[in-house]
Structure 1
């Protein structure tokens, strides 16, 4: 990232005057050219005087009424990173503080300070804002703003790597603290916040991913073990043979070389052996702290190390160049391992206070601030949430049993007006719920976009007429007057755990199609929109004592896919799974929704513009076999049910701006993906879920993937579709046990290709011991066959070159 980028665009200060109300006191380095009253009220939320500290988030350049008009160009487009190009959004993180003062009227002083930046990860500026606002309370002058502005812009992000889309997805889906450490170290060395000096990185010693796939440069843990086992066997034969040999740790092992190498009590655990990583010094730190690398920590914890020379510093998977260069690389990676590689570690020097800063590397533009999906699901869990209001087909995809979070998701993607109300709550609470809702609707920024553009984390009465005119707004408020005004479609009360659907929902969003719809007539499972919702259909739970029961189509099914999904998410939260894990589940959920929507378009409209067309694997005599594509369903009944359940919200989604943005994104992704020409997610779904598969299809899937896996970018795309929560490389490992030798060979080739890259090694380490043993045993056997064939070919050619008569006989024989 270029150092020319201004990390801080503006610094703002607002004060509360007892007579004039909220006032914008300072704008540095220049006036923003927008409504000062609006900014002041965004920075000083209602009830701020009753709270010692509060935080809010606001956006600029979002809509016409909050677009700034500075007379000077603060930042040029040339300095922006690739992730920021095309975006004019500015994000504000604001701190408001109330200090008691007996000399002041009403006994308190209320001031607020905000940093406006182009970065969505605004939370990194919280520590420096705390210091700066304290400084301003003691010395309320513009000099304080200038010091903050200069300090933030002096923060060094020049060496921060800009990850590709698929690198980000890999990083966010794993909790390994050493993930992508090779990729990160390739671009920079972690800076110690306690020192201003960075160690230079030798280009010849970079332990990054190999640009080529030459076999002689691929010496890793398993290669060393293979060579050692061969030497041990040869030595055993020379010493009489027939007897079992002993491993380097002195433990007796079976006579089979592959089994000996896999001995968990011995010195080698194949892919799980950490000798190559241990020599770089981070097995006992980063890997042991990684929750998802159990095999790594278990091996490192017992201190198992390989003694093979091929795993030494001169042959390790990251080693390049001279010994001195390797020492520098090893020291730098060791330093990097002490920190979580999910973040770029730097510092802000403010008033001689060196504040460490952790910049997240895998943030997407739709993820702003600290909105937590764990918090959102907990606030509106089915057990404590009260649902009221009429049922609507866009929102209640499972009738009265639709989980509250799914109702919220449906409202988000179908463009409904949503308000988060937090009466007597901190403005920070409602802001974080709004930001979490944006992450929910967008699939955590990975799938959809357009939610931040219509989000107002904290909204006020001052410009209510303006932000309420934004279609499908998502607003956070603390004033209960917004509930009585009724200018919303869905109200989410975070204080009382209520979710209310507006009584005017059917008038504002009428049913769009009838029972003559072709999908409904074909499936027979979906009722017409006009028949499943009226103002009298209030969400309620049928009791055992009896009472008025809901219509069958309104009651819902407790075992629906959405209900089971939310149960799974809440179970993960109850088991203390991380926020990253919860986000990965919702990303997968939104991806699935989009794929189903594409299939729906094909069935209803005849074609789709948001995904691969639906096709089954075909194999006909005289024709080249063709892989399948499109959304995968276990059977026709599941397909019909999923299409019927999703039809209403798909129809509503297709009329939103979010859908148009996704259309454009899909077109761009298809044109720029490293892996081209086939539907990779479909093939992986077939490997994961197919109940039966022909040998021809299995071979074609593995062959096609293997033939499209030659570059680092292609490897990262494949691994991005194999996240840990979906068992990582397990679908590919199935090929190792296929009945056809050709499929097993292709699976070995594919895993060998992954092994050439550090990130691929990390994924291989996550396989269980049985899968790793099968892989290494077959890889070893294949390598031996190649060596044996080469050893037979060379002497024969040498003999022929020395014997002219043989050459003539050979040529005659060939004729």
Structure 2
């Protein structure tokens, strides 16, 4: 994101004239080149005179009827995170998002008794909600002084907003941030903002230099001891103290505390928030934390030298002494939450604070609410009328309304949200929420926004109704009587109506026969997001045969269990971020299930996901890890594939399928971790009950080999969200009976601790897991130091005093 980006492309002003109707009064800085009547009616929605204030949203550059053609070519701005998301598009055809404010002021001196005006900002940023404060002030300004100068001031003020210091996060960094509740996640990315005014940028010099054969191996211990020693301390004495410390018995270790992983960069145990006294080096050095020293590894990985330390400081990388730059210790005054970048818009001598969201995706527009959408169509008064269609009813007549809506979105049905006597802005919010629902909050399948019309009216009815699979928000009940929709969602009465002609408009085709499904393994629950294995197996143990059949038909479906979890989370006051993360997982699981369907049912090589293969370990061949969607119960897997066959087949005929096919192959070729289905391996660690030692060893070894860079670390952590217990599946390796598995796990955690985001994940481990990690990491570091000291004793060493020889013999083991 650049500071010179054009945040505002156009500013529009519309008035309502009692004789001529809605009129587009001003277009600044130039005409858009599209139908002015259309723009005016979109800015002044039906019933606007009954609302003192209303917000509406609509898009430009969607279809030929609303594509702009400015006389002067305007330079398109860089989309926030567009390149990092791997979804570059032709900027000339990029959507333009329009945020519109309409206000009605009562005035008895005019013929209608009220003045209705609307002002709109056209921007290429999808987070249009940030412009609401300045748009409010600008419209007030226009009411007092109606002239084009107000539009010019608004245009200049918005475009003068400086966001040049806002970091551009990668796809996986954004995935981590959106599921983290910490307000300091990726704080190191805001280094420029955190620096006090007038101060020089910090110089990231390496703390230690390699000196001979000893330097790189002992730099970790030396760095710890040097912090508490006088500057004139002899280097050899430091080495001797280090050797003595590493040979002390484990009984002298202090118990770990929360401070052991504090972000102050200390690798020493921290008790009560303060470093232990270094005068107790002989006792405490054995408790040196976890070993950020990368000098020696199980596979002989090279140590992190000065260049690697300096080049990665912007990722919060620790130096060889285990130190993280002081930037990560406390939040700067201006940055209270790293989920938002603080900016300012100056308008009419007012400083308007702006909070720029840092973890949004292009399919997320505005400040939508999935909680509001779920609550509206999960109310006791919710009714569903119309025929049952296999594309929509994946659980028969007990399919949840939200699942029906999701199925309609992904299978390309025409959807209308009706809000009679409701503000147009409220209807628009439901449309944007539905788009986020169907796209997994913009992370999985895309293309819904381009066919969405958050507010639509009769003026251009024929145009937007001709759009395939449109998603429209209307306030006029006349649309319900038309036959141009497949699913109608009435937000006022919480009812859903399925068109009586849906079978003629969308033939279901032949459903898949469960007997014909070639399934390698199966379950209702997959990817760890649909309840515990005990919950899945409980009905078969506790119910008689008749009750079992009823349970299978009524409860034991993946969709119903998922919606029960969502409704329960909302009732327990979980936040919007949690609900969005769960729907992202649901959409991700859907496309993984579709990939498995293509291979097992259609018998083709899938191009939308990893192939579904199991772990292979045969004599004389290299063992191979599995990939694709996993199941823990074969029969349930057969049922689920059969239940989803129709909606998967329908999705495969949509543009959304083609777009995801392109996105998956691009991500597969550009992801930092290549050739491994990490989600599959993590699922195996979470849920497998009988995993062979060979598979466990290979999984941990593969993860250790593929977490050697910052980008690889963030990709791994993005699949370990806090609401699924973070590093819990990896921590199982700390207690594995194989020593190699424990070594690999420690090596993975050591690499995670090299970065501040990894430290934050380690901090979330419980005390038992943390202690196991610290203990094993210290033993590993002590063994490496002992082995190294044994091999590097100089010839003159034996001529020293007996006391020195005695002390040194402890260091040598």
TM-score for both structures, normalised by structure 2: 0.81
Counterpart of 2:467 in structure 1 is: 470
Whole-Å separation in 2 of the counterparts to 1:786 and 1:71 = 70
In the alignment, structure 1 residue 189 sits paired with structure 2 residue 193: yes
CA contact (8 A) 1:342 1:361 kept: yes
Counterpart of 1:5 in structure 2 is: 5
- Describe the superposition over 1:234-266 as per-residue Cα deviations: whole angstroms up to 9, x where unpaired: 89x99xx99xxxxxxxxxxxx7344x232x5xx
Counterpart of 2:40 in structure 1 is: 40
* Alignment counterpart, residue 256 of structure 1, candidates 251, 257, 261: 251
In the alignment, structure 1 residue 65 sits paired with structure 2 residue 69: no
CA contact (8 A) 1:205 1:326 kept: no
CA contact (8 A) 1:421 1:479 kept: yes
- Describe the superposition over 1:211-251 as per-residue Cα deviations: whole angstroms up to 9, x where unpaired: xxx996999999969999xx9x989x99xx99xxxxxxxxx
Moved more, 733-742 or 478-487: 478-487
Counterpart of 1:354 in structure 2 is: 351
- Describe the superposition over 1:667-720 as per-residue Cα deviations: whole angstroms up to 9, x where unpaired: 101110000011111111110111110000000001011111111111110101
What is the deviation of 1:119? Answer: 0.2
Superposed, 1:319-330 pairs within 5 Å as: 330=327
CA gap of 1:160–1:633, structure 2 versus 1, over 3 A, is same
TM-score for both structures, normalised by structure 1: 0.81
Counterpart of 1:305 in structure 2 is: 274
What is the deviation of 1:762? Answer: 0.5
In the alignment, structure 1 residue 179 sits paired with structure 2 residue 169: no
Moved more, 505-514 or 123-132: 505-514
- Describe the superposition over 1:401-447 as per-residue Cα deviations: whole angstroms up to 9, x where unpaired: 11110000000000000000000111111100000000000000111
Counterpart of 1:204 in structure 2 is: 203
Counterpart of 2:152 in structure 1 is: 146
Counterpart of 1:372 in structure 2 is: 369
CA contact (8 A) 1:702 1:746 kept: yes
* Alignment counterpart, residue 385 of structure 1, candidates 366, 378, 382: 382
What is the deviation of 1:77? Answer: 6.4
**What secondary structure sits across from 2:441 in the alignment?**
coil
Whole-Å separation in 1 of the counterparts to 2:201 and 2:780 = 36
- Describe the superposition over 1:580-634 as per-residue Cα deviations: whole angstroms up to 9, x where unpaired: 0100000011111111100000012222111111111111111111101111111
Moved more, 73-82 or 616-625: 73-82
Whole-Å separation in 2 of the counterparts to 1:602 and 1:18 = 62
What is the deviation of 1:576? Answer: 1.0
CA contact (8 A) 1:400 1:554 kept: no
What is the deviation of 1:792? Answer: 1.1
CA gap of 1:165–1:318, structure 2 versus 1, over 3 A, is closer
CA contact (8 A) 1:5 1:79 kept: no
- Describe the superposition over 1:472-517 as per-residue Cα deviations: whole angstroms up to 9, x where unpaired: 1000011000111131110100001111111111111112125668
What is the deviation of 1:52? Answer: 0.4
Whole-Å separation in 2 of the counterparts to 1:340 and 1:456 = 33
* Alignment counterpart, residue 126 of structure 1, candidates 132, 137, 140: 132
Moved more, 743-752 or 505-514: 505-514
CA gap of 1:225–1:451, structure 2 versus 1, over 3 A, is farther
- Describe the superposition over 1:539-579 as per-residue Cα deviations: whole angstroms up to 9, x where unpaired: xxxxxxxxxxxxx9999422311111111111111111110
Whole-Å separation in 1 of the counterparts to 2:439 and 2:32 = 30
**What secondary structure sits across from 2:112 in the alignment?**
helix
Structure with more contact order per residue of length (Cα contacts < 8 Å, sep ≥ 6): 2
In the alignment, structure 1 residue 412 sits paired with structure 2 residue 409: yes
**What secondary structure sits across from 2:255 in the alignment?**
helix
**What secondary structure sits across from 1:175 in the alignment?**
coil
Whole-Å separation in 2 of the counterparts to 1:121 and 1:217 = 49
Superposed, 1:237-276 pairs within 5 Å as: 256-258=251-253, 260-262=254-256, 264=257, 269-271=259-261, 273=262, 275-276=264-265
Whole-Å separation in 1 of the counterparts to 2:373 and 2:355 = 24
Give RMSD over aligned pairs. 3.6
Counterpart of 1:454 in structure 2 is: 451
CA gap of 1:144–1:221, structure 2 versus 1, over 3 A, is farther
Whole-Å separation in 2 of the counterparts to 1:345 and 1:673 = 30
CA contact (8 A) 2:43 2:100 kept: yes
* Alignment counterpart, residue 489 of structure 2, candidates 492, 509, 532: 492
Superposed, 1:275-354 pairs within 5 Å as: 275-276=264-265, 304-307=273-276, 330=327, 334-335=331-332, 338-354=335-351
CA gap of 1:337–1:776, structure 2 versus 1, over 3 A, is farther
Counterpart of 1:692 in structure 2 is: 690
In the alignment, structure 1 residue 591 sits paired with structure 2 residue 588: yes
Whole-Å separation in 2 of the counterparts to 1:626 and 1:564 = 33
Counterpart of 1:662 in structure 2 is: 660
CA contact (8 A) 1:53 1:98 kept: yes
**What secondary structure sits across from 1:759 in the alignment?**
helix
What is the deviation of 1:801? Answer: 14
Whole-Å separation in 2 of the counterparts to 1:227 and 1:616 = 51
**What secondary structure sits across from 1:795 in the alignment?**
coil
Whole-Å separation in 1 of the counterparts to 2:719 and 2:318 = 30
* Alignment counterpart, residue 671 of structure 2, candidates 664, 670, 673: 673
**What secondary structure sits across from 1:54 in the alignment?**
strand
CA contact (8 A) 1:48 1:96 kept: yes
Whole-Å separation in 2 of the counterparts to 1:394 and 1:148 = 47
Whole-Å separation in 1 of the counterparts to 2:570 and 2:399 = 19
What is the deviation of 1:794? Answer: 1.3
Whole-Å separation in 2 of the counterparts to 1:446 and 1:221 = 44
CA gap of 1:382–1:772, structure 2 versus 1, over 3 A, is same
**What secondary structure sits across from 1:605 in the alignment?**
coil
What is the deviation of 1:306? Answer: 2.6
**What secondary structure sits across from 1:640 in the alignment?**
helix
- Describe the superposition over 1:72-100 as per-residue Cα deviations: whole angstroms up to 9, x where unpaired: 11114679864465341100000000001
- Describe the superposition over 1:145-195 as per-residue Cα deviations: whole angstroms up to 9, x where unpaired: 00000000000011111111101100101111001111332xx3159xxxx
Counterpart of 1:781 in structure 2 is: 779
CA contact (8 A) 1:399 1:553 kept: no
Counterpart of 1:812 in structure 2 is: none
Superposed, 1:572-587 pairs within 5 Å as: 572-587=569-584
CA gap of 1:352–1:51, structure 2 versus 1, over 3 A, is same
Structure 2: tracts of 5 or more residues without a match: 207-213, 229-237, 279-284, 290-308, 523-548, 801-813
Counterpart of 2:729 in structure 1 is: 731
CA contact (8 A) 2:519 2:637 kept: no
**What secondary structure sits across from 1:99 in the alignment?**
strand
Whole-Å separation in 2 of the counterparts to 1:223 and 1:172 = 36
What is the deviation of 1:636? Answer: 1.6
Counterpart of 2:100 in structure 1 is: 94
CA contact (8 A) 1:189 1:336 kept: no
Whole-Å separation in 2 of the counterparts to 1:217 and 1:330 = 27
Counterpart of 1:561 in structure 2 is: 558
